[in-house]
Structure formats: structure tokens, C-alpha cells
Structure 1
Amino acid sequence: MLTSRIVGTGMAAPERTVDNREIGSALGAPPEQIHRLTGIRSRRWVSGHESASDLAVEASRRALEAAGCGPSSPDAIIVSTTSPDTVFPSTACYVQRALGGRPVAAFDVAASCSGFLYGLSVGDALIRSGQAKTCLIVAAEVKSAFLDKQDPVTAVLFADGAGAAVLVAEETMYPQRRGILGVRLYTDGAYHGLIRLPAGGSRLPSSADTVREGRHAIHLDGTPVFRLAVRRLAAAVQDLLKEFGLTISDLRQAVFHQANGRILEALGRRLGLSPDQTTSIIEQYGNTSSASLPMALDCAVRGGSLTAGDLLLLGAFGGGLTWATALIRW
């Protein structure tokens, strides 16, 4: 059986650290109040010269190095981002150029905070179908460029960063095979307005009016997103485990999109996860949208939380509304 396995991970974050004191001074919010509401103490924001592709390239190089691969190894480069360098060409094109790899397939996916798992699903399908032997999956976001720094809902949450994973093809026949066991993707467009960036597309092109009205900043309806995220993602996790005849106790680690601390806590309680089964980097890095899951995964890998044969669950949700899960035997 042809399957795909993650053999290397990497992450990157800008040098600039923005703590709650700096954020709170503009909002009139005490640092501890921000931490209590979000679980975040600091986040990273780019300086003026950094873009999504810069962070993606750095994370990719670290993942390739961890995998023992060179820049010419990938047969496909898939970049998840909703904060691209440019509308077109794709951010993946900039990444491919900077890595100096072969002229292989390189393209973006846009599924908001679920984007890394959408990209992982595509890479897994390319490998299982025989179209690729090695895929580089990257999620890179520069959300600070799309924030209203006076908005208390979004300014405290979103941050910048990138995470990457190298997928390789493997032939395996034994029952306890390693690699990606399954990825499940979901969308409910009825909730598309809950997390949105209104202007800049063909529906509402950029103009002096859209800039003046603040329509190029992220808008988030926090309460309904919280409720939907916990309910939908928890149900999807339970469905995936049931499909494979597993329970929560079978999992070594569960790594979720780092949306905010309260959502992570609510997910853990609803699913019955113990603290040592979860990985969280929300306190130091904030919500880096689709990059948060692979960044947390890299921290778990490099921190020694996973060993060969462990069962790993990944889960994410984001604008669209999109959500996704993946089950992996490490």
C-alpha cells in the first residue's frame, strides 16, 4: 500500500515580539485581562520588510533539513495562506524561486485557519495517486498587515508565522502502518460572514472608500465562532476516531489550531483530553491562522512529545466556516 508520512517539520516566526502591554496601551486594556480572555501573553509581528513567503521559506528550509532533503527534493510545493505576498502569482511561486528547487507544481490553497490540513490532504492525495514522491506543505501568514490595531477583538489575537512539513511516499503492508491514516475536510458556507476580510476582491474591489471605511481589516464575530468551533471540531474528532475504531485514550498527542486559549481549553474538556495529550503555543505566539497548527506540531516534534508509532490527531477550524481533522501514526 502506498502511503504518505511526515518526515520533517519546521517553523519560523518574526523577530519582533509584541507583548500585551504594548497591545493594551492602544486599547486601554490591562495585560493580564488580555491574557485571561485569550491565553496570549505575546505574539510576533513582522517588520516592514518581511512577507508571508519570507517566513514560508525559512520554515521550509528547517523542515527540509529535518527530513534530510535538499531544495530540489519536493515534487510539489503547497502553500496555505490567506495573507499572500500578492493576489497573483501565488505565494508558492515565490517560495519555489527562493528555495531554488526544480520547476515543480507550486500553488496556494486558501481555507483560512484550516488551510494546513487542506494542503496536507492535497499532498497526501498526490502521493497516494503516484503523482509525487515528496511534497512540501507550508502554511504562512502575515495577519498583522490586515489588522485594525484599535479593534479589541482582533488586535489582541492575530499574529505572524509559518510552519512546514515534508511528506514522503512509503510502501507499507503491515497493519500498524505509519503515516497519514486519514484527513477529513468540512465547510459550511452559511457562516462565511463570521470571519471575514470584506474588501480587496472582485465582490468589493479596493477603492478610496473601502480604505477609509476600514474594510481591508479582519472582522471577527467572536462569540458565535467560539461556539461553532468547539461544537463542530469536537464532533469531527469523535467521528474520525470512531471511523478508525479508536478512542481519545489511544492518542499520544492532539495538536489543534491555536485560535485562543479558551477554545483550546473548551475542546480539551469536551473531548476528555488530559493536559499531557495536548500541545499549546498560544501563550508565546498568538493566533497565526493556518500557520499555528504546523508551528505547534513542530514544537511538539522537537520537544520530544512524539515517538515512532504514536497516534497523533490534528484539528483546525477557521473562516468559511471551514474545519478539518487528520489522524496520523507517527
Structure 2
Amino acid sequence: MIHAQVIGSGAYSPERVVKNEFFEDLVPNADEWVFSRTGIRERRFAREDQATSDLATIAARQALEAAGIDASEIDCLVVGTSTPDMILPATACIVQHNIGATNAFAFDVNSVCSSFVYALEVADNFIKCGKYKTVMAIGADTYSKILDFEDKSSCPLFGDGAGAAILRATEEDKGVLCTYMRSDGSGWPLIQVPSSGSRKPVTAETIAAHENTFKMAGKQVYIFATEVIPEIIVEICKRGGIQVSDIDYIIPHQANVRMIDFIAKKCGYPKERFLLNLDRCGNTSAASVALVLDENLRNGTIKPGNLVLTMGFGGGLSWGGLLIRF
């Protein structure tokens, strides 16, 4: 049986560190206010001249170096993002050009904060069908470009970043073992940028109304997340024929540490085995799972043989997870 094995990863966080005090004009005692509600201490913002493809390109090059392969060996490149460089062309094509992946075809997927998990699902299926051998999946976002910095309920939550993973076909019993992907389009209004496309094109009026910036119904999204995360864990365990205790680590979408506290108690899974970077990076949307994955592969936390559940949830509404043996 063919499996899709992770053979290399890479990541990039912009150099500019933005601490909670940055939002002091928006909310008094900003550090305590943000940290007590989210677990975030700081995040990274891209420079004005950095686009999503710039961050993704650095992560992709790191992944190629870690895998020890040339970009010409990539058959397909998938970028998961909801902050593309522009409406068209695909950000993936820009990254493909930047890294010299001349033999690959490239495209984007947009499932908001689930985008990297969805990109991994695409990579896994392309490889398992036997048609492609090596696929690069990237999660990258620059939410600092679309935030409403007058909205204290959302703008302190997000940071920028990019992460990449290269998957390659193997007949060994490792790699992606099983997956679970879902979406519920009835929840699309809960997370959106209202004026950003054909439904409501960007105009001077929509800009004045801040309709070209990120909007989220926080309370409803929290309820959604605390319902679907346990669902992902239960379904993955069922499909993988395992118990939750068999999972060495869980890498959740980095949205809110209070959410992780709730899920750990509800599922009876030790909080210390949830791998997090939320305090240092904030919610990096599509990049969040990819950033944590790369960090813990590089620092040796994730070891050969470990069973890891990567999972995301976000706009759409969308959610899903992959069980990976390293």
C-alpha cells in the first residue's frame, strides 16, 4: 500500500515581533487583556513589502533543504492560504517560480484556517492514487494585511507566517495513515472579508466601512470549534483503529489556548501533549499547524515512530485532521 510520508519541512516567521502592548491604544492593560483571553503574548507581522508568497517561498526552500531534494523533483505544489498575493494568479504559481519547481503544477486551496490541513489531504490523495510521487504542501498567511485595527475582538489574535511540508510516496507503514475532512457551508457568514470579491467588490464606500477587512463572530466560532475538535479526534481514532491514548502528540490549529484547555479536559488527553506556539506566534491561520509541525520536527520533540494528529478548523466552515506516523 502506498503512503504519503513527510520527508522534509520548513517554516518562516517574519522578523517583526508585535507584543500585546501594541494594542494599548485599543484596550487598556492590553497584555493582560489579550493573554487572559487567548494565551497570546506576541505575534509576528510581515513587512509592508512582504507578500504571502514571499513567506511561503522561504518555508518552501527550507523544506527542500531538509528533505535533501531538488525543486525539480516536486510533481505538485499546493499553497493553502486565504490571503493570496492577489485574486489571480494563484500564489502557488509565484512560489513555484521562486523556488524553480519547473516540473510541478501549482494551485491554491482556500479553507481559511483549515487550508494547510486541506493541502495535506490533497497531497496525500495525489500520492496514494499513484499518479504523483512528490508533493509540497504549504500553509501561508499574512493576516496583518487584512485586519481591522479598530476591532479589538479580532485584530490582537492574528500573526503572519508560513510553513511547508514535502510528502513522498513510500510503501513503508508510515506517513499519512488516515484522514477526516468536513465542511458546513451554512456557517459561511461567521468568518469572512465581506468586500473582497464579486459579491461586494472593493469600493471607496466599502473601504470606509471597513468591509474589506477580516470579520469573525467570535462566540459562535468558539462554540463551533469546541464541537468539531472532539469530533475530529473521535473520528480519526475510529478510522485509524486506535485509542486517543495511542496518539503521541496533537497539533491543533493555534486559535485560543482556552479552547485547548477545554478540549484536553473533554477528551481526557494531556494538555502537555498538545503542541503549541500560540503564545509566541498568535493565530497564523493556514500557517499555524505547519509552523508547529516544523518546529517540533527540528527540535526533536517529534521522533521517528511517533503518531501525530494534525488538525485544523476555520472559515467555510471547515475542519479536518490527518493521522501521521513519522
Q: Determine which of 306, 310, 319 is the counterpart of 1:323.
A: 319
Letter in 2 for 1:140: A
1:155, distance to aligned residue in structure 2 (A): 0.9
Write the distance in 2 (CA, Å) between the matches of 1:326 and 1:103. Answer: 27
Is 1:293 aligned to residue 289 of structure 2?
yes
| Cα pair 1:77 1:135 within 8 Å, conserved | yes
> What residue is the counterpart of 1:250 in the other structure?
246
TM-score (norm 1): 0.96
Residue in structure 2 matched with residue 214 of structure 1 by the alignment: 210
Which residue number corresponds to residue 229 of structure 1? 225
Q: What residue in structure 2 maps to residue 112 of structure 1?
A: 112
How far off its partner does 1:296 sit? 0.8
8 A Cα contact 2:59 2:162, kept in partner: yes
Structure 1, unaligned stretches of length 5 or more?
none
Aligned counterpart, 2:129: 129
| Percent sequence identity over aligned pairs | 37
Does residue 6 (structure 1) correspond to residue 6 (structure 2)? The answer is yes
CA distance in 2, matches of 1:26, 1:257: 26
CA distance in 2, matches of 1:238, 1:133: 30
For residues 152 and 26 of structure 1, the distance between their equivalents in structure 2, rounded to whole angstroms, comes to 6
Deviation of 1:263 after TM superposition, in Å, equals: 1.4
Does the CA contact (< 8 Å) of 2:178 and 2:240 recur in 1? no
Deviation, 1:266, is: 1.6
Distance in 1 between residues matched to 2:28 and 2:302, nearest whole Å: 41
Work out whether residues 60 and 164 of structure 2, in 8 Å CA contact, stay in contact via their aligned partners in 1. yes
Query: What displacement does 1:190 show?
Result: 1.0
Residues 124-203 of structure 1: pairs in structure 2 closer than 5 A: 124-172=124-172, 177-203=173-199
Count of residue pairs the alignment pairs up: 326
1:261 aligns with 2:260: no
Match of 2:31 in 1: 31
Distance of 1:243 and 1:130 partners within structure 2: 22
**Residue matched to 2:299:** 303
Alpha-carbon deviation of 1:310?
1.3
Number of the residue aligned with 2:99: 99
RMSD: 1.1
Distance 1:159 1:13 in 2: 9
1:55-110 per-residue CA deviation (whole Å, 9 max, x = no partner) reads 00001111111111122121100000000001100000110110012142100000
Look up the SS of the partner of 2:156 in the other structure.
coil
Cα contact 1:314–1:325 (8 A) shared by 2? yes
Q: Is 2:76 the partner of 1:76?
A: yes
Using the TM superposition, name which of 154-163 and 27-36 deviates more.
Answer: 27-36
The TM-score with structure 2 as length reference comes to 0.97
Amino acid at match of 1:169: A
In 1, the alpha carbon distance for the partners of 2:278 and 2:184 equals: 26
Which amino acid is the alignment partner of residue 228 of structure 1? Answer: F
- For 2:252, the aligned partner's letter is F
SS at match of 1:184: strand
Query: Deviation of residue 25 (structure 1)?
Result: 3.0
**Could you list the runs of 5+ residues in structure 2 that have no partner in the other structure?**
none
Distance in 2 separating the partners of 1:283 and 1:4: 31
What is the identity, as a one-letter code, of the residue corresponding to 1:38?
Answer: T
CA distance in 2 between counterparts of 1:28 and 1:199 reads: 30
Shift of 1:260: 1.5
Q: How far apart, in 2, do the equivalents of 1:64 and 1:282 lie?
A: 26
The CA deviation string for residues 110-132 of structure 1, in whole angstroms up to 9 with x for no partner, is 00111111111111111111221
**Is 2:260–2:271's contact at 8 Å kept on the other side of the alignment?**
no
Moved over 6 A (4+): none
Check conservation: 2:39, 2:278, Cα contact below 8 A.
Answer: yes
* 1:29 CA displacement: 4.2
